[in-house]
Structure 1
Amino acid sequence: MIKKILFGMSLLLSVASCTDDYSDWNAPQHNDQPATVQFGNGSVTETQAINLAEVTTPTVKVANITAPTADGGYAPSGEYKITLGGKSLDITAAGEVSTEELQNVIVSNYGKAPVQRDMDATVATWATNEKSYVKIESATFKVLATPKAANIEQAYYLAGDIFADGYNKDVVKTHAFTHSDNNVWDDPNFSIEVETTEANKSFMVIPASSLEKSDIREGAFGSGSDKKSLASNGNAITIEKAGKYIITVNMETLTYKIEAKPTALFLTGSEYNWGNTASDWKQLIQYNGSDETFWTMIYFSEGEMFKFAPQAAWKDDFGPDIPIEDNAGSGIATDGGNLKVGKAGWYLLRVTNGKERKLEVCKPEVYLVGDVIAGGWGAGWEDKAKTDANKFTAPTTKDGLFVSPKFANSGNLRMYVNFPDTGYKDPNNNWWKAEFNVIGGNIVFRGNGGDLQPVAVEANQQVSLNFTTGKGEIK
């Protein structure tokens, strides 16, 4: 065991290398000879490039070492280390390292992609006179190696009776799994959203290469016996109940999962006890007609931190680094692992949680519409109702009230929150997509449902809303 290293001893330490130019090792048209560098009065010679997918032994040769000798009463210790990719590994006198450790060094520095890596390395040993030790280190040389990688294709498709004519090649091509911007080895997960209108519909996963075969099911992946793993040419996988699902496959571990598509979204953060219990999560309202868009009216304190999740628990949470469209001067931005508020105040949020995610921060605008405004429904359908005469005043404090103008007419009360793209003639962003009312003293949201219960009011009445407590009053 080496207990001490003296740096004051004098011993020939080589830092020189050969004068030949071996810089372009990756160019296949060359057949350069391995370089040799000095190692004290010994040497280290590079090996040819290594492909770890072809290595079946527990160790692999990364250098040819001619051991240095020592003088002045010092003798070599016989222990060698190689510094490679910022890691120090054991290396034998024959120049061999652990195959597993070499794989790990490449992956930790460069990722899992099966690409040849050009790594600088040095080899060191120690000499001892039984009283002290001195380090002998080689000049820098190269180790060229390609990591072993899973057999993953660049694209996968969904086939099966989950779709009409679902094994037709042209149909299958329209149902591609999505993938992140990372390479498929560093992120082997592929996902797709599907909807089944009947129970017990089945599917298989089709690699891109199978689309070139006469029968696309040749080489397709189905379920293994445990109903969690993927097996090449396995049985079709069955979805037992009708509904909307997200299917995710991991093509490195060959596993899959089928999850019901989330139909809810929650917010928690520094003002909500960081979601320690289910009651510490604020549920957003579903934007009518969408299963991936949600909204809420909320008061934020300056410096408040928050995140989102599809359930009232810490799972699949998100927030940092999603695109933010700030139309209200909130200063909301990513701060570490959270979103942070720059300016206190009331804000109207609209959040998209689908294949893509986005946060829209809007001004806290609420409007009356319909019977109770001047001009009634005629004004509304002519897209003229979005005026200050029909707009609620907004509070500046968390417990403050949103207060409507006095009703111009008697009739049924209708009101909504306004986004920049809300329009009476836009089928995707009609005002009723984010409608609500006051029923029994509570603010009741339309969400993804149909018309709310009618609420009759009288001319000259007005409605007050407390979005913090969820209460409302008509008087």
Structure 2
Amino acid sequence: MKNILSLIILLVGIGFFQACEDNDKIVLQQPESFVLNTPKYASGIYDLKHTETIELTTSQPDYGFTAATLYTVEISLSQNFAEFITLPGNYSTARFDVPAQDIAVALVSLHGVEEESDYPTDTHPLYVRLSATISGSKVEPVHSNVITLPEVLGYFALDEMEMPEEMYIIGNVAGDWDWNNSTEMIPVNGSPGKFWAIQYLGQNDGGDNAEIKFNYAMEWNGNEFGYNDVTIGEGSDGISGNDENNITIGNPGWYIVVVTTAIEGREYTFSVDFLPPYVYLQGDVNGGHWGTTDEAHRFAIPDLSLGADAEFVSPAFTNGGEIRASIQLPGHEWWHTEFMVFDGEFIPRGAGDDQDRVNGTVGQRLSINFTNWTGNVE
């Protein structure tokens, strides 16, 4: 009888705790709003040119539980937010600093000005609100109340220019003036805005010498650049321009083409070098020579009569081990421009991390088609 009574008490207890668990079940709520606090010094003048950050504090939206909330900042020149801009970045704490530079850049767009002389010189109200959501959830974003910063003094601020991440060659031989067939250049590791390509610049089917242009997008969008837009490097013999602003190649051949980008003010400037197409074996398979430019380790340059669809072939491997290959640009380490063939595909390191290893044996050679991006070890 005592055992039966204990069992009954145990079952009642389990039911009680189960009921408690059911009552404590978390239910996600969709809040209607939440509170963005007015900054302590909101009544003062926010001179954005001489301010680093503006601190904002908020209470978390009531989702029914403490959630990992992400906040973004929205600003407007009108209290009803008929037109607004979301500032870059997001914040995961209830107190955070907003870069004044981000606000100033957004205000240039909100004011709709394109020249510094047109930017307002007087202070004006700025309206701020937050948008919140739960990280990784499908919950709808919710907006805070709107606060007013009565006197904000902006300035003609522009986004910092970034180096292009891509570069393409187009021409009468390189792609037949079709961007879909253009040559994608390879980033130089550790040098943003610098690119290289081994390019066939012989003659086209009509017997005309090669002509090329460049762009950092695969399209005719007004940003393409040619002879009058670049500085041609010393030693690039036989290079000239024509009436179409194309770069014309006076000495047909294979070249390492290098584009180096710089930023001056709000504009890109470009220099272009045309270097001999020297490719080198590196490391184990050449006997342990690294960073070599010795002719003994240089790939054979294909005859021009073979056209663009021709292979560069390495010397025979003198040792077994890792196969490494590169070009050598002045002022750079060999691995800044290294590449390898994987399963028949030419893959450059570019701006990426170290590549996987491929091993070779004595007597084998590495062949690469730089036009089709193919190759093999045999």
TM-score normalised by L of structure 2: 0.56
Q: Does 1:392 align with 2:290?
A: no
Taking the aligned partners of 2:163 and 2:113, their CA distance within structure 1 comes to 19
Taking the aligned partners of 1:205 and 1:320, their CA distance within structure 2 comes to 39
| Cα distance, 1:159 vs structure 2 | 6.2
**Structure 1 residues 432 and 234, CA gap change in structure 2 (3 angstroms):** farther
Q: Is the 8 A contact 1:221 1:234 kept in 2?
A: no
Taking the aligned partners of 1:415 and 1:159, their CA distance within structure 2 comes to 51
Q: Is the 8 A contact 2:170 2:177 kept in 1?
A: yes
| Cα distance, 1:436 vs structure 2 | 0.3
1:128-143 alignment, distance < 5 Å: none
Q: Is the 8 A contact 2:260 2:272 kept in 1?
A: yes
| Cα distance, 1:202 vs structure 2 | 3.6
Q: Does 1:288 align with 2:189?
A: yes
Task: Say which SS state the counterpart of residue 354 (structure 1) adopts.
Answer: strand
Taking the aligned partners of 2:50 and 2:219, their CA distance within structure 1 comes to 34
Q: Is the 8 A contact 2:185 2:196 kept in 1?
A: yes
Q: Does 1:409 align with 2:319?
A: yes
**Structure 1 residues 417 and 345, CA gap change in structure 2 (3 angstroms):** same
Aligned to 1:367: 280
| Cα distance, 1:470 vs structure 2 | 1.1
Taking the aligned partners of 1:472 and 1:406, their CA distance within structure 2 comes to 15
Task: Say which SS state the counterpart of residue 341 (structure 2) adopts.
Answer: strand
Q: Does 1:455 align with 2:358?
A: yes
Q: Which whole-Å deviations, capped at 9, do the CAs of 1:9-59 have from their partners, x for residues lacking one? A: xxxxxxxxxxxxxxxxxxxxxxxxxxxxxxxxxxxxxxxxxxxxxxxxxxx
RMSD of aligned Cα (Å): 3.3
1:100-115 alignment, distance < 5 Å: none
Letter in 1 for 2:345: N
Aligned to 2:240: 333
| Cα distance, 1:161 vs structure 2 | 3.2
| Cα distance, 1:256 vs structure 2 | 5.8
Task: Say which SS state the counterpart of residue 368 (structure 1) adopts.
Answer: strand
Task: Say which SS state the counterpart of residue 311 (structure 1) adopts.
Answer: coil
Taking the aligned partners of 1:412 and 1:233, their CA distance within structure 2 comes to 66
The structure with the greater share of residues assigned to strand is 1
| Cα distance, 1:466 vs structure 2 | 1.1
Equivalent pairs counted in the alignment come to: 241
Q: Which whole-Å deviations, capped at 9, do the CAs of 1:329-361 have from their partners, x for residues lacking one? A: 3x1222222211112110001101222310011
Equivalent residue in structure 2 for 1:324, among 203, 213, 232: 232
Q: Is the 8 A contact 1:224 1:234 kept in 2?
A: no
TM-score normalised by L of structure 1: 0.46
Q: Which whole-Å deviations, capped at 9, do the CAs of 1:57-114 have from their partners, x for residues lacking one? A: xxxxxxxxxxxxxxxxxxxxxxxxxxxxxxxxxxxxxxxxxxxxxxxxxxxxxxxxxx
Highest relative contact order (Cα 8 Å, sep 6+), 1 or 2? 2
Q: Is the 8 A contact 2:163 2:193 kept in 1?
A: no
Taking the aligned partners of 1:273 and 1:403, their CA distance within structure 2 comes to 26
Identity %: 26
Task: Say which SS state the counterpart of residue 223 (structure 1) adopts.
Answer: helix
**Structure 1 residues 359 and 261, CA gap change in structure 2 (3 angstroms):** closer
Taking the aligned partners of 2:371 and 2:299, their CA distance within structure 1 comes to 16
**Structure 1 residues 311 and 467, CA gap change in structure 2 (3 angstroms):** same
Aligned to 1:262: 164
Q: Does 1:304 align with 2:210?
A: yes
Q: Where in structure 2 are there 5+ consecutive unaligned residues?
A: 1-48, 54-87, 92-97, 129-155, 204-208, 264-268
Q: Is the 8 A contact 1:221 1:231 kept in 2?
A: no
**Structure 1 residues 453 and 234, CA gap change in structure 2 (3 angstroms):** farther
Task: Say which SS state the counterpart of residue 274 (structure 1) adopts.
Answer: coil
Q: Does 1:225 align with 2:110?
A: yes
Structure (1 or 2) with the larger CA radius of gyration: 1
**Structure 1 residues 224 and 388, CA gap change in structure 2 (3 angstroms):** closer
Q: Is the 8 A contact 2:256 2:275 kept in 1?
A: yes
Taking the aligned partners of 2:359 and 2:101, their CA distance within structure 1 comes to 51
The structure with the greater share of residues assigned to helix is 2
| Cα distance, 1:313 vs structure 2 | 1.2
**Structure 1 residues 233 and 295, CA gap change in structure 2 (3 angstroms):** farther
Taking the aligned partners of 2:159 and 2:355, their CA distance within structure 1 comes to 37
Letter in 1 for 2:191: S
Please identify runs of 4+ aligned residues in structure 1 that moved more than 6 A. Answer: 196-199
Q: Where in structure 1 are there 5+ consecutive unaligned residues?
A: 1-157, 163-195, 207-219, 239-253, 423-428
Taking the aligned partners of 1:261 and 1:159, their CA distance within structure 2 comes to 27
Taking the aligned partners of 1:308 and 1:467, their CA distance within structure 2 comes to 18
Q: Is the 8 A contact 1:159 1:205 kept in 2?
A: no
1:161-180 alignment, distance < 5 Å: 161=52
Equivalent residue in structure 2 for 1:470, among 362, 366, 373: 373
Task: Say which SS state the counterpart of residue 200 (structure 2) adopts.
Answer: strand
Letter in 2 for 1:266: Y
**Structure 1 residues 296 and 222, CA gap change in structure 2 (3 angstroms):** same
Q: Is the 8 A contact 1:333 1:341 kept in 2?
A: yes
Task: Say which SS state the counterpart of residue 110 (structure 2) adopts.
Answer: coil
Q: Is the 8 A contact 1:222 1:233 kept in 2?
A: no
Taking the aligned partners of 1:263 and 1:325, their CA distance within structure 2 comes to 22
Q: Is the 8 A contact 1:228 1:256 kept in 2?
A: no
Letter in 1 for 2:214: F
Q: Is the 8 A contact 1:364 1:394 kept in 2?
A: yes
